[in-house]
Structure 1
Amino acid sequence: MFSIKDLKIKIIFPLLMVVLLALPHKVKAQAIVKPQPKATWIWYPGDYEIWLANRMQNRRTDRGTFFPIFWKMDSHYPLMEFHKDFYLQNPETVHIAVEGQYNVKLDGRLAEGSPTEMNIAKGQHTISIKVFNQANVPAIYVKGKTLVSDSSWLLTFEDKEWIDASGKVSDKSGTVYMKADYWNFNTPTELPSQFHLQTKSEYAKNKQQENHSLLLDFGKETFGYLKLCGLKGNGKVNIYYGESKEEALSVDSCETLDRVNVHSDVKKDSVMKLSKAFRYVHIRWDKNVSLDSANMLYEYSNVQQRGSFLCSDTLINKIWKVAAYTLHLNTREFFIDGIKRDRWIWSGDAYQSYLMNYYLFFDSPTVERTIFALRGKDPVTSHINTIMDYTFYWFMSIHDFYQYTGNKRIIEQLYPRMKTLMNFCLSRRDKNGFMEGQPGDWIFIDWADGLSKKGAVSFEQLLFCRSLETMANCANLLNDKSDAEKYMQLASILKQKIFSLYWNPTYHALVHNAINGKATDIVNKYANMFALFFGYLNPQQKQDVKKYVLLNNKIPKITTPYMQFYELESLCDLGEQKYVLQQIKDYWGGMLKLGATTFWEQYDPSQKGAAIYSMYGRPFGKSLCHAWGASPIYLLGKYYLGIKPTGPGYSKYDITPSLGGLKWMEGTVPTPKGSIHLYCDETEMKVDANDGEGLLKFTSKILPVCQQGAVISKGDNNYEVAIKKGINYKIVYECK
C-alpha cells in the first residue's frame, strides 16, 4: 500500500519536476535580464541653462520695445567633444543624433561624413563625437542596446587645463573632461534647442464689446499668448494688456502691448509671437478691420503640486491657494521674479522661490537650472545681477539644495565656480575685512524709502558670513579639508568683527551700517532678523531684538512681501506663530480685499485708489504677480506644520507643529522619495511618512499617549516621538 508520503514522492514530485523543467529557461532569463540603459540628450554642464536663460530673459518688451537684461551675459561653448570608453559583450548598431556640425571617431579612426548610424563590433572601444554649434548648445543623443548617451560620458571644450575638486578627470593627454549634463529630452526628435513650455486654450470669463473694441476679463491673473480669431480686412489692431482693468484701459500707460497689421480678404486667426501676463485685455481695431473673437493659449510649466495645507481658518486657506497659484505662474523654464514686467532671473527672488518650491512642488530640476543660469561662466567681473546681496543668496541656495534634496552632484559641478566667485568677493573687501559697494555694484536689500546704502552695511556682512560658512560646508562634503578650514576661519573672524562693530547695547540691536569704520546709530529690521534666524544671536540678544526691533512700532515697517518673508520667519523662529498668523491675514488678506488673484511685488496698506498699482514712477509699474509674494507656502509648511530636514534629503527630519491660534491644520510636505503628512488639532496629532526618519517634537499639558511608538519626556512638558516610515502614528495630547 502507498502511504500519503509515498504518493507525494511518486506522483506529485515527478509532476512538479515536469513543471519546473519547463520553467528554468524563463526563470533564468528573467533573473539575468538587466534594465536597458536609457538614452538622453547630453551637453556641457550649465551650458544649456545659460543658453535657455539668454533666450528667455531677452523676450521682455516695454510697450512693444525690446528690453534686454542689464547685466553681463555669458554664452555656451560652441565647440565640444563628447567621449566614452566602453565594452560591448555583443555587436551593436548605434544610432546618433546631434545638434550641430560633427564628426565621429571610433577607436581613434575618423568615420566618413557625419554618420547617424554605426555598427560596432564586440570588444573594448572608445568613441568621440566632436560638435560645433554657435547658435545652439552642442548636444548629442546616442542609442544602442547598451551604449547610450547619459551622464557617464565625458566632455571637454578643449581648454587643456587640469581642474580638480569638480568631478573632473583627465585622460593621458591631459585634456580636461567633465561629466556630461542632461535634462529630460529622451528621444532623438526631442531637440533641446526646440524646447518650449506647454500651452492650452483658455477663454475669457467676461467680455464687453463695443464698436471696434473688445475688453476681455479672464477672471484671474494669467499668462500666455493672445489669439485673435477671424481677423479680416486692412488696417491695424492694437492690444493693451493689464493686470488690472485700469491698466488695460490705459492705452498710454499700460506696461505691455501688441500691434497687429491686418491685410487679408479672408478670415484668419493670429497668435501673438510673445507671451504676456494679464487678467484684462483691451483690443481696439480700425474700422476697415473685423474681428470675430479672441481667446488665449495659456502657457505653463508642467510641475506637479505635491504639497498641501488646510486649516480651520478659511482666509488662511485662500491665502495658501493664491500663493500656490502665484508661485506656479512664476515657475517657468526657470524661477522668475514676476510674469508681467521683468520676467528675468533675479537671484534674491529665486532664492525664496526655491524654499517655497520645496514645500509645494519639490521640483529639483527647475532649482538646478536656475542656479546654473544665475552663475554663468568665469571669469567673474561683477556680482550676480550686479547686486552684492544676490551673490550671497546664490551661495546660500546651493547648500539649501543639498539639505532638501540630498543631491550632491550640483556641488561637485559648481564648486570651482563657487570658489572663483568667492575669490571675487574676498578681493573686494575693505581694509577692515568688510564688503562695501564699489562702482558698478548695487546694494539692494529691499525696496524701501530712505534706506542708506553707504559704507559697510551690516546686512551685507551677515550674508557674506553665511556664504563663507556655505563654502566651508560644501568643501567638507567634497572632502576638501583645507578649503573647509580656510572658509570656516574666515567666517569666524568676520562674525566676530560684525558683532564687535555693529552690535549696540544701547539699542539692543545691530545698527545698519558703518562709514569709514565708524558705526552709525541707524536701526532697522534687516540685519537683526537675519542674524536671528542664522542663529548668530545669543538667547539674550534674541529677546532684545524681538522686543526692541521686531515688535517695536518705532522701527520702520517693511512693506514688501520680499522682506516680510524673512521678518515673519524670524518671528516664527522666536515662537511667535500666533502673532505671525495675524500678520499673514492682515497683509496678504489685505491684497485679497483689493481684488488680488495673485500676490504682489509690494503692498502698502496706506495706499489708496490707483496708487496701489504704481511703482518706479510709473502708474502701472508694480507687478501684481510676483514670486516673492508666495511666502505663506514656506512659512506654513516649515513653521506651522513644522516640518524641516535635519539630514540631507530628509534622511532625517523634525516635525515641530505649532497651531498658532488655529483650531486644526493638516498638510503634506514633499520629500525626495515621498512625503510627510501631518494632522494636528488641540488634542490629537496624526503623522505618516514614507521617507526618512523623523522626530516629532511637541508640548502637552497631559502625558501623551501613542500606541505606535514610544513617547519620550524631555522635561518641562516637552515630548518626542520617533517617526519611522510606513507607520501611521496617532498621538493623544493636550495643546499647551
Structure 2
Amino acid sequence: MKKIFLILPLIAALTTHATAQSNILKNQFKQGLTQDVITRSYVTPVKILWQSDTEGKQVINPEVLLTGYEGQLSTSGAGMCVLRSDDNRQASILLDFGTELYGGIEISAAIRGVKDPVKVRVRLGESVSEAMSDAIDNSRPGMQSATNEHSLRDFTLEIPWLGSIEIGNSGFRFARIDLLDKGVDLPIRAVRAIARYRDIPYLGSFKSSDERLNKIWETGAYTVHLNMQDYLWDGIKRDRLVWVGDMHPEVMTINTVFGDNDVVKKSLDFARNTTPLPGWMNGISSYSLWWIILHRDYYLHQGDLAYLKEQQAYLKKLVPQIAAKVSDGKENLDGGRFLDWPTAKNDEVIHSGLQALSLLAMEAGADIAGWVGDQELKKLCTTTANALKKHRPSDQGNKQAAALLSLVDLISPKKAAEVILKEGANGFATFYGYYMLEALAKAGKYQEAMDIISDYWGAMLDLGATTFWENFEYAESVNALPIDQLPISGKFNIHADGGDHCYIGLRGSLCHGWASGPTSWLTSHVLGIKVLEPGSKVVQIRPNLGKLQYAEGTYPTPLGTIKVKHVKQANGKVASEIEAPEGIKIIR
C-alpha cells in the first residue's frame, strides 16, 4: 500500500507533464491540428509468391523479409535481403501480406557503400494479377484498367541510404518491388504494410456448426471495418467516397458487429450537407431514398432522438420533392436512375425497383415523422405511400426487382422467392444480394438462403478473397484463377478478365462494403435477433437453424450486449439460452 501512495504523485506529475506537452503541441499548430481517429499498425508479409531470380544473383536472402522487425535500423548491414539489377535482369519480388488491408508500405533500407538514393518501382494489388500489372489508361478500349485513379498503386520513388520511407495509400494485399537502378546493391531489412483502421472491438459475433457460414460472417464484418475510415467508404481502393446507397448494408453490418459508431452520423451528415435540395445525393435519386431508410433503421437500433430531430428540416423539404415525382401512384424520379450495377442497363427493372424503394422510403419517413412528432410530415409520407401502393409493376423475372417489390408487399413473398431461387446463386449480386436474402427470409426460405450464402459469398472465399467484392458473377467462378495465384495464359482470371461499367477488369474493387449483407442477415435470421422498438428496447429472438445443429452469438445494443445460444435437440426442436441487459424486453 505504501508503494502505491508513493507512485500516485509520480503518476500525477507525469500526467501533468504530458498535458503540458500536449498543450505545447496544440499551440504550435494553433487551429491547424486535427487528431486522427485512425490507428496505424505494421504487418509483416507472410509469403514470397514470386521473385525474378531464384539463383541468388539478383535477389539474395529474400526470406529475411518474412521475419519480424522492430522498426529500427542499425549500422550493421549483415543478413539483409539484397536486390541487384543489371543489364540482363531486373531484381523484383512479390510479397503477400496474407489479407486485404488499407494503407501503404514501409521500406527500410540498410547501410550500403554508396549514399545516393536508389530508385525502385512499387506496385500494390488487391490480387496478384493487379500487383503484377502496369497502371494503364482507362480511356483506351480493351485495356484491363489497372489504373492509378483515386489511389496510387503503381509508382516510382527513391529509397534513402540507411533509412525508411513510407509510400502508398490504397487497398491491397500484395506488393511487388522492382529495383530500377542498375549496377547497385539495395540491401533491405524489411518491407512492412502499414494498416490503417479504427481500433474498435467486435461486439457482435456469430458461430454455428457450419464453419463456412462462420467465415462468411467474419469476412463481411472485416470488409465493412476496413471501409470505416475517416468516413464510411464504399471501397478502400477505388472511389473511397460516401455513396449513400452503398451505406445501407454497411450500416446494418455496423449495427450488428460494432454497435453505434460516429462514422455513421458523420457520413450521413456529409451526404446531407453536400446535397442542397433539389439535388439528389450522389446525383442519384434512389440514394436520397436510401438516406431516409438509413435514418429509420439507424434510429431503430440506436435510439438517438436528438440526432433524428436534426434531420427534420431537411426531410420536410426532401419528402415533398419525392412526392412531387409520384403521378397516379407511379414513381417518375429524375436524376440518376440506379439500383445496382447488374441492372444498370434495364430501364423496366429500374422502374420496378424505384417504385418499391419510393414506397419503402415513404414508410420509413412516416415512422421518422411519428418519432419526432411531425404530424404534417407523417401525413404527406402516408398519403404518398398509399398512392404508391396502387401501382404494381412487374418483377420482370429479375431478382433485384422481385426482392424489393416483395419487401414492400407489391408482390407476394412466394412469387419473389420463386424468382430469386431460380438457378440458385446465378444472378445474385453483391449489393442487392442482401435484399434478395431478406426477401427469402420473408418467404420462410431460410435454409435456401443459407445455401446461396454458402455458394455465392463462399465462392469468393474459394477464390482467395479475404474481403467481399464490388461485383461477382457466380458463373465465372468455375475453373477461374484465384486472386492469390500468378496469371496463367488461357485460364479465366477472376479479377482481370471480367467486369463492366466502372469496374472493368483490374479496376474492380475487391473490398466493397455493400457486399457485407450476409453478416447482418445471419445474425438477424439465423440467430433470430430482430429489433422492434427504437433504441433496441424491444427485441424479438426467433432462431431459424435450418440444417444447422447449433448457432450462437452476441448482438450489441445501446443498453449492452445480448447473448444467445440455440441448440437443436434430438426431436428437432431448438432449445435457446438468452441473456439480455436490463432494460431490454425480449419477445420469443
Q: TM-score range by the shorter chain?
A: 0.7 to 0.9
- Tell me the SS of whatever aligns to 2:229: coil
The alpha-carbon deviation at position 478 of structure 1 amounts to 2.1
- Which residue pairs with 2:9 in the alignment? none
Letter in 1 for 2:559: K
- Which residue pairs with 2:467 in the alignment? 598
The alpha-carbon deviation at position 370 of structure 1 amounts to 1.4
Larger radius of gyration: 1
**Structure with greater strand percent:** 1
The alpha-carbon deviation at position 491 of structure 1 amounts to 1.4
Matched, 1:259 2:142: no
Matched, 1:383 2:280: yes
C-alpha RMSD over aligned residues: 2.8
Q: Is the 8 A contact 1:671 1:691 kept in 2?
A: no
Q: Is the 8 A contact 2:106 2:194 kept in 1?
A: yes
Decide which of 523, 532, 535 is 2:406's aligned counterpart: 532
- Which residue pairs with 1:542 in the alignment? 413
Distance 2:471 2:321 in 1: 32
Matched, 1:466 2:348: no
For structure 1, which segment, 188-197 or 331-340, has the greater mean C-alpha deviation from structure 2 after superposition? 188-197
CA distance 1:245–1:546, shift in 2 (3 Å): closer
Letter in 2 for 1:612: I
Distance 2:212 2:536 in 1: 30
Letter in 1 for 2:284: I
The alpha-carbon deviation at position 249 of structure 1 amounts to 0.8
Letter in 2 for 1:599: F
- Which residue pairs with 1:200 in the alignment? 41
**Structure with greater helix percent:** 2
The alpha-carbon deviation at position 258 of structure 1 amounts to 4.4
Decide which of 670, 691, 707 is 2:556's aligned counterpart: 670
The alpha-carbon deviation at position 670 of structure 1 amounts to 0.9
Distance 1:696 1:485 in 2: 30
Letter in 1 for 2:421: L
The alpha-carbon deviation at position 405 of structure 1 amounts to 0.7
Matched, 1:225 2:107: no
CA distance 1:475–1:248, shift in 2 (3 Å): same
CA distance 1:421–1:261, shift in 2 (3 Å): same
Q: What do residues 535-594 of structure 1 show as CA deviations (whole Å, max 9, x unaligned)?
A: 455xxx3333333x23344x9953321111110111012211111111111111111111
The alpha-carbon deviation at position 531 of structure 1 amounts to 2.8
Letter in 1 for 2:577: K
Distance 1:309 1:659 in 2: 13
For structure 1, which segment, 484-493 or 632-641, has the greater mean C-alpha deviation from structure 2 after superposition? 484-493
The alpha-carbon deviation at position 689 of structure 1 amounts to 0.8
TM-score calculated relative to the size of structure 1: 0.62
- Which residue pairs with 1:37 in the alignment? none
- Which residue pairs with 1:615 in the alignment? 499
TM-score calculated relative to the size of structure 2: 0.76
The alpha-carbon deviation at position 626 of structure 1 amounts to 1.4
Distance 1:525 1:573 in 2: 14
Distance 2:241 2:416 in 1: 35
Decide which of 569, 580, 584 is 2:438's aligned counterpart: 569
Matched, 1:435 2:335: no
Decide which of 580, 583, 586 is 1:692's aligned counterpart: 583
CA distance 1:261–1:682, shift in 2 (3 Å): closer
- Tell me the SS of whatever aligns to 1:606: helix
Matched, 1:551 2:421: yes
Distance 2:545 2:425 in 1: 29
The alpha-carbon deviation at position 194 of structure 1 amounts to 3.9
Letter in 1 for 2:389: K
Q: Is the 8 A contact 1:310 1:317 kept in 2?
A: yes
The alpha-carbon deviation at position 599 of structure 1 amounts to 1.4
The alpha-carbon deviation at position 329 of structure 1 amounts to 1.2
- Which residue pairs with 1:334 in the alignment? 231
Q: How does 1:209-608 map to 2 (within 5 A)?
A: 209=51, 210=59, 211=84, 212-230=91-109, 233-253=116-136, 254-255=146-147, 256-262=152-158, 266-272=161-167, 274-287=168-181, 290-292=186-188, 293-377=190-274, 379-427=276-324, 429=325, 431-432=327-328, 434-436=330-332, 438=334, 441-448=335-342, 451-453=345-347, 457-496=351-390, 498-499=391-392, 502=393, 511-512=394-395, 522-537=396-411, 541-547=412-418, 549-553=419-423, 557-607=426-476, 608=480
User: Which runs of 5 or more residues in structure 2 are unaligned?
Assistant: 1-22, 52-58, 60-83, 85-90, 137-145, 482-491, 570-574
Distance 1:215 1:334 in 2: 31
Letter in 2 for 1:267: L
The alpha-carbon deviation at position 335 of structure 1 amounts to 1.9
- Tell me the SS of whatever aligns to 2:556: strand
Q: Is the 8 A contact 2:407 2:439 kept in 1?
A: yes
- Which residue pairs with 2:13 in the alignment? none
Letter in 2 for 1:597: T
The alpha-carbon deviation at position 637 of structure 1 amounts to 0.6
CA distance 1:582–1:213, shift in 2 (3 Å): same
The alpha-carbon deviation at position 437 of structure 1 amounts to 5.1
Percent identical pairs in the alignment equals: 27
CA distance 1:676–1:228, shift in 2 (3 Å): same
Distance 2:511 2:564 in 1: 30
CA distance 1:694–1:263, shift in 2 (3 Å): closer
Q: What do residues 646-686 of structure 1 show as CA deviations (whole Å, max 9, x unaligned)?
A: 11111111001111110111111111120111111113221
- Tell me the SS of whatever aligns to 2:431: helix
Q: Is the 8 A contact 1:402 1:648 kept in 2?
A: yes
- Tell me the SS of whatever aligns to 2:98: strand
For structure 1, which segment, 670-679 or 279-288, has the greater mean C-alpha deviation from structure 2 after superposition? 279-288
CA distance 1:320–1:412, shift in 2 (3 Å): same
Q: Is the 8 A contact 1:599 1:625 kept in 2?
A: yes
